[in-house]
Chains A and B, each alone.
Chain A
Amino acid sequence: MTKLQKRTLRISIVLAAFLAVSPAAGAMHIMEGYLSPAFCIAWGVVCIPFLVKGFFEMKKVFAENRKAVTILAMAGAYIFVLSALKIPSVTGSCSHMTGTGLAAILFGPCTTGVLGIIVLIFQAVLLAHGGLTTLGANTFSMAIAGPAISYGIWLVCRKCNVNKRVGIFLAAAAGDLFTYCITSFQLAFAYPDPNGGVLASAAKFLGVFAPTQLPLAVVEGLLTVMIMVALENYAAQELKAIRFEK
């Protein structure tokens, strides 16, 4: 083969790969290439302030609060584990949890954002799950908006003297569910229904995600309660160090 032929062949292979590859199977995150560049950039930009704040918070933990580093590592590892487990659901399809509830309750949504984006990059690069172009949108839904709701619910539960474990359960489960609501709306903004507009489209996406996710949100809530029980029993000093417990 001549050089030119080889080159043409190579280009055609790349082109074919680009065009023929179907979106990777998996669950929940917006698939690579499914948001137009404008949306990719917009969601990315929205995330930046949260991530910057989270980064500074984390730096502070490392500098001033060595005891909390172990808990931070654990919260990050928890996201790693839970977002890798694909679980069958009542609708006959699989999805996975977010695992961000724990970090949100312990450290707030911004730090969780930084932990979450690490996991999302890992999955986008190595697992073809989610994507680099949709990283901003996925970070916003899974690592910022979901945890923000978790954190908010947790604070309200504390204020109203709800049983601590019930509060943890509610916060983690709601954060998980809310992540998927945000994902649905993100997709709806990108793909408004020609007849009904954004809302009709969002309802369609929610119809796909919500019933699948509901039982998983419950599972995530229960698991988060379990790990918090373990931490309360064995890592009380660390929880005190991050002012989680007085």
Chain B
Amino acid sequence: MKKDAKLVIILLCLVVLIVVVPLFALKGAEFGGSDDAGSVKVEEIQGEYEPWFTPVFETALNGEIPGEVESLLFCVQTGIGVGVIAFLMGRFVERKKHEKSNTIR
């Protein structure tokens, strides 16, 4: 168990490093989506390209989803996921504790 805890901490630090280093290494980079890079490449190969269908939400709004709202929606998505994982993980951890104290008694 102790060994696993150590491993998880080391891995977490690695993850943070990999994510944060580009931010500092490439100061001034735009960090846009690689989708956009994808559509640029499409135009490079194909010439002008007009997507033949727009996202339903954007059609309903008659325009793009405002940036802040988009980040809100992404947060909602993350929130749902983290909520489920944290809830279930909490139950598992408590269950193990319970089982342990029962066997000791």
> Is the pair B51, A14 in contact by a Cβ cutoff of 8 Å?
no
Is A107 an interface residue, CB under 8 A from the partner?
no
Write the nearest CB–CB distance from B46 to chain A, whole angstroms: 5
> Is the pair A229, B7 in contact by a Cβ cutoff of 8 Å?
yes
Write the nearest CB–CB distance from A201 to chain B, whole angstroms: 6
Q: What would be 8 A-B contacts, judged by CB atoms less than 8 Å apart?
A: A14-B59, A22-B64, A33-B53, A93-B29, A208-B37, A209-B38, A215-B18, A226-B12
Write the nearest CB–CB distance from A84 to chain B, whole angstroms: 4
- Expressed in whole angstroms, the Cα–Cα distance for A185 and B100 within the complex equals 52
Contact with A along B70-105 (1 / 0, CB 8 A): 100111011011111100110111011000000000
- Expressed in whole angstroms, the Cα–Cα distance for A204 and B44 within the complex equals 10
> Is the pair B88, A93 in contact by a Cβ cutoff of 8 Å?
no
Is A223 an interface residue, CB under 8 A from the partner?
yes
Is A225 an interface residue, CB under 8 A from the partner?
yes
> Is the pair B55, A124 in contact by a Cβ cutoff of 8 Å?
yes
Residues in A20-34 with C-beta less than 8 Å from chain B: 21-34
Query: How many residues of A are in contact with the other chain, CB < 8 A?
Result: 82
- Expressed in whole angstroms, the Cα–Cα distance for A62 and B77 within the complex equals 24
With both beta carbons as reference points, the residue of chain B lying nearest to A20 in the complex is identified as: B63
Is A128 an interface residue, CB under 8 A from the partner?
yes
Write the nearest CB–CB distance from A105 to chain B, whole angstroms: 16
Write the nearest CB–CB distance from B12 to chain A, whole angstroms: 7
> Is the pair A88, B19 in contact by a Cβ cutoff of 8 Å?
yes
Write the nearest CB–CB distance from A76 to chain B, whole angstroms: 8
Contact with B along A153-171 (1 / 0, CB 8 A): 0000000000001000000
With both beta carbons as reference points, the residue of chain A lying nearest to B26 in the complex is identified as: A92
Is A41 an interface residue, CB under 8 A from the partner?
no
Residue in A84, A128, A133, A219 whose CB lies within 8 Å of B81 = A84
